[in-house]
Amino acid sequence: MRVTRSARIIAGIALLALGAAACGGQAATGGGADGDQPVRMELAEPQKLFYPGDTIETEGAEVLGALFAPLVSYNDDKQVVDNVAESIKSPDSTVWTIKLKPDYTWHNGEPLIAENYVDAWNFAANRDNAQGANSFFSRIEGWADLNPSDKKQPVLAEKMKGLKVVDERTFQVTLSKPFSQFKTMLGYVAFYPLPKAAFGEDGKVTEAYAKQPIGQGYFKMDKPYNKGTDRTIDLTRYDQFPGAKPKFDKLQFKIYSDSETAFNDLRAGALDIHDSLPPAAIASAKAELGERYIDQADAGVGYIGFPLQYNDTYSNVKIREAISMAIDRKTITETVFAGTRAPADDFINPLLDGYRPNICTVCTYDPARAKTQYVENNGPGSLELGYNTDGAHKEWIEAVANNLRANLGVEVKVKPFEKFAVVLDNLVKKDYGGMFRMGWFIDYPSVENYLTPVFSTVAITTGSNYAGWSNKEFDDLLAEGDAAGTLKEGLKYYQQADDVLIKELPYIPVFYYRTNAAYSQRIRGLKINLINLVEWNKIEKIG
């Protein structure tokens, strides 16, 4: 046989195979009249499968938020109100009795019962299940048994002592210490219930469930989600839902890897809701969309932090104040961030009830006073400012550095770290002595969540207090707020604690995050709530 011919045949086959591979696997999904198109919302790829207790990021929470109904929700006055719960009562802020409304059913038809909550919370709180939201349950009595301090030690119990089913629709939660804000936590993803069907024979939530969770909310999922492969997540309205139902029957999450691309898709009519517009798209969104562009407060605060625990350079509060006054927050938020951030003037974000405008007077730009105060207190001649390059921080950090150079007349060295985790690692190991960029997003909409996890003494070891700042007065005020009888009463103490922060300035608040969203002409009535979830029953489809 002549070699060339067989070579020809083999090469031909190889090409054919490649061609066949190129044409295969094409499902016909396009087409259809515009009227029966689902409402389509932008999503970045969820980090994990849908375990409610392991969802500590926004994208997974968005999907779960459409599948589940929370115990409490948040009204237009920023107040927490009962939702699935009929009542949530506590005489002493320690023992909480939660009664469910009747008529809620799971998407598989079973009724929603109190046990579903107890099962879900016990699963999420168990160390061996390695759920990301584990610490959300740490206030419940018995959590420590499920999370022994020695990692070699096996867990002492499967169930938390503090959770007790009273009857079919009532359960009782006992906290290890009073916490007046407990009710605000209950709207969060981690506190969703789980149906019996979620658990396998070994008592663990199955992977099959996490791919296609059965919820008790507005929508049910059409098919299991293949993470890494699927580019859409399709949901259908659950018609047995007892509350106010959505006014459209199909919802689709479209997964994008670039939010600018998603914005282009929205402009071209291939997407309806986009809730995370990139700064580059803001100008055209404002110009082209008009009313269909939304700009509202979001839960995050951006700070400049000091390693107070182990570096004395910044121990004088007057120097920290001077640095704060030298930062031109307004210009930075308007130019560097194109209005996707707002200047900070409190440690508490305007999103919440309890925010007080202009309470932080040293957060106002005052270069002259900054310079005088800095010089009078012998501020260091050179400063270092660290940030992580894996987020969009370079520009604003450079802007802050320029402010400090110009207004304080000091050398500022900007130090990039490749990842946020590396910054944290350096701070925990006390290797890095300069100022650093920091950010905080609340987990539940209570003022307390801007204070305890970031600035309390216990948070140095168990939370996110990277400054290592510790203040007895502050800790005591938090404890008093926790022990208060009502949400409102607690707020009073938290605001006093906030006053201590402003006086002591362990971090400098620089900006507040904003939610920048846009929607298409096919819908109206887009509302995004306090915890960044779309209120699906308010949306109307018009196209």
Partner 1 sequence: MGRYITRRLIQAIPVLLGATLLIYAVVFALPGDPIEALAGDKRIDPHIVDVLRERYHLNDPFLVQYWHYLTGLFRGDFGVTFAGVPVGEVMAGKFQVTVNLAMTALVIEAVIGIGLGLYAALRHGRAQDTLILASTLVLISIPTLVTGFVLQLLLGVRLKQAGLDLFPVAGVTGDLRGYLLPGFVLAGTSIAYLARLTRASLAETLRADYVRTAIAKGLPRRRVVGRHALRNALIPLVTYLGADLGTLMGGAVITETIFNLPGMGQQLFTSVYLREQPVVVGTVTFLVLVYILANLVVDLLYAVLDPRIRYG
Contact set for partner 1, span 275-334 (CB under 8 A): none
Q: How many residues bind partner 1 (CB under 8 A)?
A: 72
Among 261, 316, 372, 378, binds partner 1 (CB under 8 A): 261
Check binding of 391 to partner 1 (CB under 8 A): yes
Residue of the chain from 258, 376, 431, 473 that contacts partner 1 (CB under 8 A):
258
Strands 170-174 and 163-167: antiparallel
| Least spacing, CB of residue 30 vs partner 1, in Å | 4
**Coil vs helix vs strand at 251:** strand
Q: Which two tokens stand for residue 196?
A: 């019996």
Q: List C-alpha distances in Å: 181 to 133, 477, 486, 537.
A: 18, 14, 8, 27
Interior/surface letters 288-323, b for 16+ CB within 10 angstroms, e for the rest = ebeebbbbebbbbbbbbbbbbeebebbeeeebbbbb
Q: Which residues contact 196 (CB under 8 A, 6 or more apart)?
A: 110, 116, 119
Shortest Cβ 99–partner 1 spacing (Å): 31
**Segment contacting partner 1 by CB under 8 A, of 105-113, 130-138, 304-312, 319-327:** 130-138
Minimum Å gap between C-beta 425 and partner 1 is 7
Residues 143-182 interacting with partner 1 (rule: CB under 8 A): 147, 149, 151
DSSP-H helix ranges across 377-458: 394-408, 420-428, 452-455
Show the tokens assigned to 58: 């926004």
| Closer of 16 and 166 to partner 1 (Cβ) | 16
The answer to whether residue 91 forms part of the interface with partner 1 (CB under 8 A) is: no
Looking at the chain, how many residues does it have? 543
Start-to-end Cα distance in the chain: 66
Told to check if 101 binds partner 1 by CB under 8 A, we report no
Smallest distance from the beta carbon of 34 to partner 1, in angstroms? 11
Residues 389 and 418: beta-carbon distance below 8 Å: yes
User: Minimum CB separation from partner 1 for residue 289, in Å?
Assistant: 13
Rounded to whole angstroms, the Cα distance separating 63 from 13 reads 45
Positions of E strands within 345-404? 382-388
Give the 3-state secondary structure of residue 189.
helix
Residue 123 binds partner 1 (CB under 8 A): no
* Per-residue interface string for the shown chain with partner 1, residues 342-381, x marking contact by CB under 8 A: ----------------------------------------
Range in contact with partner 1 (rule: CB under 8 A) among 259-267, 349-357, 361-369, 508-516: 259-267
Give the interface segment with partner 1, choosing from 162-170, 174-182, 264-272, 305-313 (CB under 8 A).
Answer: 264-272
Structural contact between residues 47 and 189, judged by C-beta atoms closer than 8 angstroms: no
- The torsion angles phi and psi of 513, rounded to 5 degrees, stand at -75, 155
Minimum distance from CB of 384 to partner 1 (Å)? 19
Question: How would DSSP label each residue in 229-241?
Answer: T-SEEEEEE-TT-
Residue 354: CB minimum distance to partner 1, A: 22
What is the rounded (10 degree) CA torsion for 221, 226, 232, 237?
0
Q: Which of 37, 79, 135, 377 binds partner 1 (CB under 8 A)?
A: 135
Site string for partner 1, 461-500 (x = CB under 8 A): -xxx------------------------------------
- Residue 176 φ/ψ, nearest 5 degrees: -75, -20
Pairing of strands 219-221, 250-255: unpaired
Q: Which stretch binds partner 1 (CB under 8 A): 48-56, 99-107, 193-201, 516-524?
A: 48-56
User: Phi and psi of 426, rounded to 5°?
Assistant: -65, -40
- Looking at the Cβ atoms of 286 and 356, the one nearer to partner 1 is 286
Among the listed ranges 81-89, 132-140, 332-340, 361-369, the one in contact with partner 1 (CB under 8 A) is: 132-140
Instruction: Measure Cα distances from 69 to 216, 291, 425 in Å.
Output: 6, 29, 37
Identity of the residue, 52 or 379, whose beta carbon is nearer to partner 1 in the bound complex: 52
Among 156, 421, 430, 473, interactor with partner 1 by CB under 8 A:
421
Min separation Cβ 12 and partner 1, Å: 9
Sole binder of partner 1 in the list 139, 237, 254, 320 (CB under 8 A): 254
- For partner 1, the closer CB: 3 or 287: 3
Q: Which is nearer to partner 1, 281 or 332 (CB)?
A: 281
Tokens for 23, please give them: 């044409």
441 touches partner 1 by CB under 8 A: yes
Closer residue to partner 1 in complex, CB, 262/327: 262
Q: 296 - beta bridge partners?
A: 515
Binding mask of the shown chain, residues 213 to 252, with x at each position contacting partner 1 by CB under 8 A: -------------xxxxxx---------------------
Least distance between partner 1 and beta carbon 435 (Å):
18
State the binding string over 11-40 for partner 1 (x if CB under 8 A, else -).
x--xx--xx-xxxxxxxxxxx---------
Which of 348, 323, 344 has its CA nearest to residue 332? 344
- Could you say which residues in the range 61-80 bind partner 1, by CB under 8 A? none
**Torsion angle, alpha carbons of 299, 303, 306, 308, to 10:** -30
Q: Give the H/E segment covering residue 512.
A: strand 507-519
**Nearest distance from residue 437's CB to partner 1, in Å?**
11
Please, which residue, 128 or 376, has the CB nearer to partner 1?
Answer: 128
The residue range among 84-92, 129-137, 177-185, 326-334 that interacts with partner 1, by the rule CB under 8 A, is 129-137
Tokens of 412: 């500022």
- d(Cα 523, Cα 207) in Å, to the nearest integer? 35
